[in-house]
Each structure stands twice: as C-alpha cells, then as structure tokens.
Structure 1
Amino acid sequence: MALIWVALAAAVGVPIAAAALSPLLEWRGAVYILAGFAGIIALGLVLVQPLLIGGYLPGLSAYRGRRAHHWIGGALVAAVVIHVGGLWITSPPDMVDALLFSSPTPFSPWGVIAMWAIFAVALLAAFRRRWGLRAQTWRIAHMPLAIVIVAGSVVHGLLIEGTMETVSKAVLCALVLAATVKAMVDLRVWRKRGTLRG
C-alpha cells in the first residue's frame, strides 16, 4: 500500500528535484523560475488525476478520491495560471505569439491547447450543477477534454528543452499516459458492468 504512494512521490518529486539542480537556473530570474516549476508541478498533478478517479491510490474511498480529484483540479488550474502568468511577466511578446498560435517554438501550441482544455473542464465543473449537467453529459464533455489535456501536456513537456532532466521527464510523461489510458479503460468497463464505484 505504502509502495504506491512512495512511487507516486518519486514520479513527481524526482523531476522537480532534477530541475532544481539544473545549471540553466543560474541565468533565470525568480519569476521565470517560479513559472517553470509551476509547469512541472502541473504535469505532476495531471498524473495524480487519473489515479484518483480510477481509485488506484490506497487508503482513499471512492468518495474521497472524487473529492480529491476535484480539489487537485483546482490546484492544476492555479499551477497553469502561475505558469502562464509568470511567463507573461517575463516575456509578453512570446506569450502573445503562443496564445495566437504564431510562436516558432513547436511546444507552444500544445501547451496552449492543453491550457484551454483545463480551463474548459474547470468551467464545466464550476457550473455543472447550475447548468443542470447530467452525469452522462458531464462524462461526454469531460473525457475528450481530459484526453486533450493529457496529450497536450505530455507533448508540450517532451518538446521543451529546458531545466527538466530528460529521463525523469520522459518517465513522468509515460506514467501520465499509462495512468490515463488505464483509468479510461477501467471506467468504461465498470460502466458496462454497472459497477461504477460510488
């Protein structure tokens, strides 16, 4: 049971620690560094989300897992806002190019697409009850957006050549993909069997 939590902590913590030791940080300002680490943390939170909703983290009931999924989603939005806001402060022209999909860097559009998908999910979650979204409607909207978030985040992260160490970054991205696929397959099976948890 504890091994799963240790593995998760390592999967998220090792890339953060490796980035903290990067020599590239010597030439960066505090705001840029904060923005960069917010992006790394956001990628780690993307890993946590399918683990929570799939019920793979021991010690958490289905209800607590869903509640944690909700709050981690809020933390993910905050991390993305800090990431984008910090980069905007340090280099507004580059961020304008990225948001307009005119940036020459190949990683930019993937990050922007993932960002808007994250904001869309957050908006739907915030107004789900007010708009009267049924569970099936919520799933139909949320699942494709989740796929966009994961794919965009992973490609965005892999294409960036920055402070993140290559191997730990690749492992984290692979785990994000594997956890997402596993959760989506299991949720589909549970629904077909009529045994969806909670």
Structure 2
Amino acid sequence: MPRAKAAIIWVALATLIAVAFAVAATSPFLQYRQPVYILAGFAGIAAMVLLLIQPLLAAARLPGLTPRRARSLHRIAGAVLVAAVLIHVGGLWLASPPDVIDALSFASPTPFSLWGVLAMWGTFAAALLAGLRHRLPPRLWRVGHTGLVAGVVIASAAHALLIEGTMGAMSKALLCAAALAATALAIRDLKVWQLLRRRGQADRPSVSDMSKPR
C-alpha cells in the first residue's frame, strides 16, 4: 500500500477516535457526575472504539501490520474490550445499582438499556467462543464468532445512538457508522457467507444419493 494512502488511513482513524473522546470530555453532562460514572462512560466510549478497530485487525486492513501481527493485536484488543465492558457496567452499578438491575433483568423502560445488555452478553459470548477456537470445527467457529461480533456491533451502535449522554451526536454517529462499515468490510474480506453456502451444499443430498435405494 502506498505510504500516502496508509498515512491517510491512520490519520483518519486517529482523528475519529480523538474527536470522540475530546467531545465527550467537554460535555456539559459531566458536570456534577460522580468520578465512577465518568469512568464508566469513557469505558463505554473505549469499547465502541475497539469495536471499530477489531474488525480492521481481523481482516488485516490496517496498513503497516502483517496478518500475523494483526491477529495477535486482535486477541489483545478483544481482552481489552471485555475489560472495558466490565468497567462500563461495573461503574454504572456503583453509580446507580437500581438502574443496572433493571437493565440486566430487562425491566428498564429505556430502550437503550436493552441494546446495551444484549451487546454486553454478546461480547462475553464472542470472547468465550474465541477461547474455544481450537476445540471447535474451524468453519463452525468462524461463522459463530463472526455472527456474534456482528450482533454486538449492531446492538452497541443502537445502544450508543439512543443515549443522550456525554458523546456528541455527530461524533457518536460517525463512530458507530465507521464500526458498522468496518464490520461489514471484514465480513466481506473473510467471506464468511461462503462458509454458510458450503455448509448448506454439504448438508444437501446429491442426485446420486437420492437415487440410491433405501
């Protein structure tokens, strides 16, 4: 990849991330908030940023990184993502336990809570599946992990967009759109749908099989 194009990609990515954090840091919603609540909020932003970076690493789309290095960073970023989600939810629990209990029990009246809980459990499930990679058939693992991750990104974007909080409306929309686009790009590059098609063809009996006497 030409150096100019690689530089543009890195600058655009860094700018998008920096703006998301900078806008949140200057938000009037931070006034009078507890430090643990602020920490939880920024952990949520970090999780959304990682959902943008993760598919780019999985598909080796970040210039200057070899596929092997990208996969290694993908695993590390996955662990950091789980930690960010735990800090996000744990901080909100310390700030307001009743709200978190309502969200986890799907009793919250706010739609963004539902999407947030779905994204949380999806993240944990994807991380668990990542740990079982060498114990599952490669095709089953790839389809399952990719499907869970795609669901997490969609749920996280809905969660973020429905919240009126510290993230700016424009920067939040751009970050969510970039994460969704990066995920779609990775799915296209990894050709996961072809695995589903092959699985369907393998399960479908052939003409010769159907003609055999039973």
Q: Give the TM-score normalised by the residue count of structure 1.
A: 0.92
Distance in 2 (CA, whole Å) between partners of 1:124 and 1:189 is 16
Distance in 2 (CA, whole Å) between partners of 1:149 and 1:12 is 19
The residue that corresponds to 2:3 in the other structure is: none
The residue that corresponds to 1:82 in the other structure is: 87
Shift in alpha-carbon separation, 1:161–1:190, aligned structure 2, 3 A: closer
Distance in 1 (CA, whole Å) between partners of 2:143 and 2:63 is 28
Distance in 2 (CA, whole Å) between partners of 1:43 and 1:189 is 23
For 1:136, give the aligned amino acid: R
CA apart distance, 1:106: 1.1
Instruction: Determine whether 1:181 maps to 2:176.
Output: no
The residue that corresponds to 1:123 in the other structure is: 128
Q: Give the TM-score normalised by the residue count of structure 2.
A: 0.85
The residue that corresponds to 2:14 in the other structure is: 9
Distance in 2 (CA, whole Å) between partners of 1:169 and 1:122 is 25
Instruction: Determine whether 1:57 maps to 2:69.
Output: no
Does the aligned pair in 1 maintain the 2:54–2:78 contact within 8 Å? yes
What do you get for the CA RMSD once the two structures are aligned? 1.5
Aligned match of 1:26 in 20, 23, 31?
31
Paired residue secondary structure (2:31): helix
Task: List runs of 5+ in structure 1 lacking aligned partners.
Answer: 193-198
**Sequence identity (%):** 57
Aligned match of 1:142 in 132, 136, 145?
145
Instruction: Determine whether 1:104 maps to 2:109.
Output: yes
Paired residue secondary structure (2:111): coil
Paired residue secondary structure (1:104): coil
The residue that corresponds to 1:196 in the other structure is: none
CA apart distance, 1:191: 6.6
